[in-house]
Amino acid sequence: MAAHDQDKELVERLIAETNLSARMDALIGEICDKLREYGVSSPHKAFNDLVDPFREYFMLEYEEERGLEESEEEEEDEEEDEERNY
């Protein structure tokens, strides 16, 4: 199983165990209710506009981190292949 698959499986298990998805949905609902109280016409869009830059930042950071780990693994594999060829 690839490292990414293991990470994904771990995250899915933690979400299920902690009921994180339902808690996040409830929190987003509360935030949108407050935005509506303050007169925001489309609170879900306002919320998404607010968090999108953070999503992008964390996804880029995650992809960079995964890319570095994958490139290190590839280098190790190449070194092992070279050693076998000698």
Highest mean pLDDT among 3-7, 43-47, 57-61, 76-80: 43-47
- Structural domain boundaries of the chain? 3-85
What DSSP assignment string belongs to 15-80? HHHHTHHHHHHHHHHHHHHHHHHTT-S-HHHHHHHHHHHHHHHHHHHHHHHHHHHHHHHHHHHHHH
Structure tokens at 80: 């092992």
pTM of the predicted protein model: 0.47
Tally of CB atoms within 10 A around 43: 19
For the stretch 11-61, pLDDT in tens is 888 877 878 778 888 888 999 999 999 999 999 999 889 888 887 887 787
In whole angstroms, give the CA distance from residue 30 to residue 10: 28
